[in-house]
Amino acid sequence: MSATAAASLTSTGEAVQFWVLGITAVIGALCTVLMKKAVHSALCLAGTMIILAVFYLANGAYFLGVVQIIVYTGAIMMLFLFVVMLVGVTAADSLTETLKGQRWLAALCGLGFGILLIAGIGNAGLKTFNGLGRVNSGGHVEALAALIFTKYVFAFEITGALLITAAVGAMVLTHKERTERAATQRELAERRVREGVQLPPLPAPGVYARHNAVDVPGLLPDGTPSDLTVSKTLRARGQVRDVSAEAIEDLKALEQRSAERLGREEAAK
């Protein structure tokens, strides 16, 4: 076995690691695409990213591997989760396609693209792997730093500017300018009295709850659920739990039974 050939092959340990983790990463990626709930997708993606970090380490990119874990899985994915929570953690994405032919086209394009890429790589004649032993001889991070601060120093500075711009941009996009002074508690109370719409505090949710009750609306005397009893945010997200007619029927039967037992005539009607 020649030296060149030796450099182009990896150890058995790495091969085992590649096949095990590689398959896991593909599954994670597929789950990211196919999971109904955004939060599940995010978790799968985080897993895939950690596997990628391991691969980076295996390929001698120690710095990148650590950065991948810290920045991607630690910061970016958490940012994703924050937004998912903001938008509604349980809001499931319907997987039925609305655009005509979109799924077929996507599948066709994806398949073709993948085949072409793999064919391209197969044709590329990548036979020699030099390894990073020589460039890492003076220390891996030091070698990276030398490149970043000499050859790539302009790009590096510009990415700094880019990050600052992105931070300012995110703030500008999400910032809501307060155009008037926030109303105080007293003013709110006075306004409520003045308008006379809802003088007492809002009714509590889910009097007949079987869950933790926050997303279950309270029922009015005639048995219809009242929107007032559920938080505005939940209503906006459409996360108000449906109080089905069946449950109300159950309750009705329960009341009737107890009324019969207690001999209350008027309640039986």
Q: State the number of binding residues for other proteins (CB under 8 A).
A: 94
The least CB distance from residue 98 to other proteins, in Å, is 6
* Tokens coding 82: 């924050």
Question: Among all chains, which residue has been given the structure tokens 């933790």?
Answer: 212
First to last CA, the chain: 94
Site residues for other proteins, window 167-206 (CB under 8 A)? Answer: 167, 169-171, 173-174
264 sits near other proteins (criterion: CB under 8 A): no
Do residues 241 and 216 touch, judged by C-beta distance below 8 A? yes
Query: 114 to 143, contacts with other proteins by CB under 8 A?
Result: 114, 116-121, 123, 126, 128-132, 134-135, 143
Q: How far is the CB of 202 from other proteins (least distance, A)?
A: 21
Residue 166, φ and ψ in degrees, nearest 5: -60, -40
| Residue with smaller CB distance to other proteins, 83 or 193 | 83
What secondary structure does DSSP assign to 141-172, as a single string?
Answer: HHHHHHHHHTTTHHHHHHHHHHHHHHHHHHHH
Candidates 31-39, 190-198, 200-208, 240-248; binding stretch for other proteins (CB under 8 A): 31-39
Q: Rounded to whole angstroms, how far apart are CA atoms 170 and 216? A: 35
Interaction mask 63-92, other proteins, x per CB under 8 A: xx--xx--xx--xx--xx--xx-xx---x-
